[in-house]
Amino acid sequence: MATFSCPVTSFSSIRCSYGPNSSGNHGDYRVNVNVNGNASTRPFKHHALVNEMALQSPASLANLQFLENGHISEEKIRQRIPTKKQLVDPYRRGLIVERGVGYRQTVVVRSYEVGADKTASLESLFNLFQETALNHVWMSGLLSNGFGATHGMMRNNLIWVVSRMHVEVDHYPIWGEVIELDTWVGASGKNGMRRDWIIRSQATGITYARATSTWVMMNVQTRRLSKMPDEVRGEISPWFIEKQAIKEAVPEKIVKLDDKAKYVNSDLKPKRSDLDMNHHVNNVKYVNWMLETIPDKFLECNQLSSIILEYRRECGGSDLVQSLCEPDEDEILFTNGVVQQNLLKNNVNTLTYGYTHLLQTKGGTKNEEIVRGRTRWKPKI
Amino acid sequence: MATFSCPVTSFSSIRCSYGPNSSGNHGDYRVNVNVNGNASTRPFKHHALVNEMALQSPASLANLQFLENGHISEEKIRQRIPTKKQLVDPYRRGLIVERGVGYRQTVVVRSYEVGADKTASLESLFNLFQETALNHVWMSGLLSNGFGATHGMMRNNLIWVVSRMHVEVDHYPIWGEVIELDTWVGASGKNGMRRDWIIRSQATGITYARATSTWVMMNVQTRRLSKMPDEVRGEISPWFIEKQAIKEAVPEKIVKLDDKAKYVNSDLKPKRSDLDMNHHVNNVKYVNWMLETIPDKFLECNQLSSIILEYRRECGGSDLVQSLCEPDEDEILFTNGVVQQNLLKNNVNTLTYGYTHLLQTKGGTKNEEIVRGRTRWKPKI
């Protein structure tokens, strides 16, 4: 998954300009976005991410699997992407639920998905969100090749890009534990899509984590955000349901940090292994860069309970990245063990602590925002 | 998986000294190893890795799941580690094969396990080797908690540590592909264990990759290598079979690089997320550090066909690491596209190219070897 985004709170406020990019920069595009009443022309860059809802109109297996010369594509044989809706996938341990439009997958937490404390890392949860989202589309019988778009989207040169992600974690699954992930999609304004997840213990049914995300469409040539064409709406809207994993009355506004932030980690360089199928830094890497900027002393005695990410720009393999973070004022309560213990005795369930985050490219003349973040933490028991 | 090792070619040549560590350093231990006729006293450090064959004598579910106060351990309920041999695991899609002693797991290659070219990364293959090895022990009904040792090993304060790994890759699985991993164990000299793997296409049965590894036992307190106690041999030897995934008549000797190596990547710092359950850098991270030192230009047009790793010392979270690599002499043939194309036409199947690798800690006075490596590459088609 690569990522890009604007801080979209309601997609009905997006006004797109379709003219050529005045900068002539292939990787840049501009779009008028009306966010919270403030119209602006904002530059975006193409984000590899997520032609995630790659819905295509049904086609016969034969049509898909045979190339013009009559040879079967080796990749298609090996991948076996369904061309019809499939209710059960024994290999993925997945099934269609929610009256035929939701997806559930049973997963065992693997030995390499847990951290030093034997609990699944936040990175692993993000990976499983991506995986189940793609498998949902896989099961729908509508997935085109790879992270590709629907037939309607492909005809319009559109891909999905993520603009916002909000994850709440009550309990972290442990190594070897069997968990169930449910995922489904819904409308988000006129031109966007919401995708939600719930992670539950398979043994007890207890909810471990919830997540919601918003997605918009981008023209892959002009690098501009796009309205959702009726043709595409017709493909994907039958899958929309109203249910929400996290109800957000007024989404939290994330302030932009500047160079005065308390903790700064500069000169972060993407590695080859950080790049995904779209040749951009996978957005899960962003989360790691953010968390690694928080002091070890804090991380040792606290665990993340929520994270909100606002994606603004992709990160390429050659970008130099800077990670900034600023703790909320009362950090001392959480780094001083004694005070923390006293607080724990009084009010362990409501005690949380926050950090504000910013990842930006470190350019010659100006820095560009990649993602803003907000994390909340609670003491480890 | 954390890792440690000595270049053991035959475990019958190990002579262990059990006296206290003269250095007084908790993380160091010494052992006399007779390798290829050369006796030496070599310092080792404890390696988190792999109390991998955590075989314990059978015990009733009740005994394992109830603590002294009568309460069931929450971790045990969530993990549900079998206390008896299990022939099928529907959640892991695993089954016991090879007349009751081998393990086979069917796996779907996930979206986050592939690189920019949509094929599984070498890191992902290593992760699956670790996962299936642990699940093999899981199925045996003999696994103690976590990466822990067998009952006999625990009574003797022993853990398994990996000393050598050799992987041959003919084809890389692609995103969404269903693959089968077979793994089994065998004797390696008097005091060691061999673990092998084969990866096959589930659709065609074609072998994609083969791997073999050797393991020895270490006393967790003295940090010294240990002979295998008869008690432990009695537990694990019923699982040994002769079959070998890779036949190695004379294992390739890996020379030690020095500072004159052509490519050097210094100041590598482990991140929090690189640490595994044993609070050491996971050995999969070593592989990435090695490969990232090879020039991008080479990696773009070649793919790894084999890797041999000789583990020598663990890497802790606070170590500074240096990665060195030296290409074989005829590198020009592979970085010059024209020459390469001409070679391809003539002899595409036998054309490979090699690098020698070294990872070492970068200390104040002297550097210590972590792992030596040898990789072979062939042109991407």
Closest by Cα among A48, A222, A170 to B111: A48
Does B221 share its domain with B275? no
Task: For residue A288, list chain B residues with Cβ-Cβ distance below 8 A.
Answer: 271, 273
Tell me, what's the pLDDT at A366? 82
Residue to substitute from B65, B111, B204, interface A, most A β-carbons within 10 A: B111
Reply yes or no on whether the pLDDT at A348 is more than 70: no
A53 φ, ψ (degrees, to nearest 5): -90, 80
The answer to whether residue B146 neighbours chain A at the CB level (below 8 Å) is yes
Tell me if B80 and A201 make a contact (CB, 8 A cut-off).
Answer: no
Does A112 share its domain with A56? yes
Last-in-domain residue among A194, A224, A248: A248
Burial class of residue B240, CB neighbours in 10 A (0-12, 13-18, 19+)? middle
Tell me, what's the pLDDT at A12? 30
Q: Which of A219-228, A363-372, B200-209 has the highest mean pLDDT?
A: B200-209
Does B319 share its domain with B218? no
- Comparing CB atoms, the residue among B79, B276, B282 nearest residue A176 is B79
Instruction: Give the pLDDT band of residue A354 (cuts 50, 70, 90).
Output: very high
Does A238 share its domain with A256? no
CA distance linking residue B334 with residue A303, whole number of Å: 48
Q: Which of A16-20, A69-73, A206-210 has the highest mean pLDDT?
A: A206-210
The answer to whether residue A91 neighbours chain B at the CB level (below 8 Å) is yes
Catalytic residue among B135, B156, B278, B302: B278
CATH number of the domain within which B208 lies: 3.10.129.10
Cβ neighbours for B317, distance < 8 A, ≥ 6 positions apart: B270, B272, B274, B275, B279, B280, B281
Put simply, the chain B residues between 190 and 229 with a CB less than 8 A from any chain A CB are 201, 203
Is A315 an active-site residue? yes
Give ipTM to 2 decimals: 0.79
Closest by Cα among A160, A158, A140 to A81: A140
Q: How far is CA B71 from CA B65, B68, B78, B98, B196, in A?
A: 8, 7, 14, 39, 40
Closest by Cα among B10, B14, B11 to B32: B14
- pLDDT above 90 covers what percent of chain A? 46
- Comparing CB atoms, the residue among A114, A117, A146 nearest residue B175 is A146
pLDDT (tens digit per residue) in B180-211: 999 999 999 999 999 999 999 999 999 999 99
Tell me, what's the pLDDT at A110? 96
CA distance linking residue A70 with residue B276, whole number of Å: 49
Q: Say if CB A285 and CB A316 are below 8 A apart.
A: no
Catalytic residue among A51, A278, A282, A302: A278
Put simply, the chain B residues between 229 and 288 with a CB less than 8 A from any chain A CB are 271-273, 275-279, 282, 284, 288
Reply yes or no on whether the pLDDT at A179 is more than 90: yes
Average pLDDT (A170-189) is: 96
Average pLDDT (A65-87) is: 71
- Compute the mean pLDDT over every residue in chain A, rounded to the nearest whole number: 77
Does A221 share its domain with A269? no
Catalytic residue among A280, A282, A325, A357: A280
Task: For residue B265, list chain A residues with Cβ-Cβ distance below 8 A.
Answer: none
Chain A residue closest to B105 (CA)? A91
Put simply, the chain A residues between 94 and 133 with a CB less than 8 A from any chain B CB are 106, 108, 110-112, 114-118, 121, 123, 127, 130-131
- pLDDT above 70 covers what percent of chain B? 73
Does B8 share its domain with B75? yes
Say if A231 falls within a structural domain: yes
Q: Which of A155-164, A243-252, B15-24, B125-134 has the highest mean pLDDT?
A: B125-134
Tell me, what's the pLDDT at A30? 27
Task: Please list the residues that pair with B178 across neighbouring strands.
Answer: B108
Say if A34 falls within a structural domain: no
Does B191 share its domain with B47? yes
Reply yes or no on whether the pLDDT at A9 is more than 50: no
The answer to whether residue A177 neighbours chain B at the CB level (below 8 Å) is yes
Domain total for chain B?
2
Task: Please list the residues that pair with B105 across neighbouring strands.
Answer: B94, B181
Task: Check residues B159 and A176 and name the one with the higher pLDDT.
Answer: A176
Say if A70 falls within a structural domain: yes
Is B280 an active-site residue? yes
CA distance linking residue B296 with residue B165, whole number of Å: 25
Catalytic residue among B6, B47, B51, B315: B315
Reply yes or no on whether the pLDDT at A10 is more than 70: no
Least confident of A104-113, A207-216, A310-319: A310-319
Closest by Cα among A303, A324, A302, A322 to A255: A324
Task: For residue A137, list chain B residues with Cβ-Cβ distance below 8 A.
Answer: none
Does B197 share its domain with B304? no
Task: Check residues A25 and A158 and name the one with the higher pLDDT.
Answer: A158
Residue with tokens 């999905």: A160
Reply yes or no on whether the pLDDT at A53 is more than 80: no
Alpha-helical (H) ranges within A104-257 are 122-140, 151-155, 230-236
Reply yes or no on whether the pLDDT at A260 is more than 70: yes
Task: For residue A173, list chain B residues with Cβ-Cβ distance below 8 A.
Answer: 78
Does A215 share its domain with A267? no
Evaluated on CA atoms B292, A282, B91, A209, the torsion sign reads positive
Using 50 as the pLDDT threshold, list the residues of chain B that sit under it: 1-71, 331-332, 335-339, 341-342, 344-349
Largest CA distance in chain B: 74
Say if A23 falls within a structural domain: no
What crossing angle do the helices spanning B283-291 and B122-140 adopt, rounded to 10°?
A: 160
- Comparing CB atoms, the residue among B108, B123, B134 nearest residue A92 is B108
CA distance linking residue B59 with residue B80, whole number of Å: 14
CA distance linking residue B192 with residue B360, whole number of Å: 25
Reply yes or no on whether the pLDDT at A214 is more than 90: yes
Question: To 5 degrees, how large is the angle CA A233–CA A47–CA A282?
Answer: 115
Task: Please list the residues that pair with B371 across neighbouring strands.
Answer: B311, B359
Task: For residue B147, list chain A residues with Cβ-Cβ distance below 8 A.
Answer: 111
Tell me, what's the pLDDT at A330? 58
Element (H, E) at B151: helix B151-155
Last-in-domain residue among A248, A264, A297: A248
Tell me, what's the pLDDT at A351? 64
Does A234 share its domain with A258? no
Task: Check residues A147 and B138 and name the one with the higher pLDDT.
Answer: B138
Does A234 share its domain with A267? no
Q: Which residues form the domain of B179? A: 1-245
- pLDDT above 70 covers what percent of chain A? 73
Does B94 share its domain with B127? yes
Contacts by residues B199-207 (CB-CB < 8 Å, ≥ 24 positions apart): B199/B125, B199/B128, B199/B173, B201/A78, B201/B171, B201/B173, B201/B177, B202/B106, B202/B177, B202/B178, B203/A77, B203/A78, B203/A80, B203/B177, B203/B178, B206/B171, B207/B170
Amino acid at A224: R
Last-in-domain residue among B229, B245, B261: B245
Chain B residue closest to A139 (CA)? B176
Task: For residue B80, list chain A residues with Cβ-Cβ distance below 8 A.
Answer: 176, 178, 203
Tell me, what's the pLDDT at A227? 94
Task: For residue B291, list chain A residues with Cβ-Cβ distance below 8 A.
Answer: 272-273
Tell me, what's the pLDDT at A55? 25
Say if A9 falls within a structural domain: no
Tell me, what's the pLDDT at A367? 87
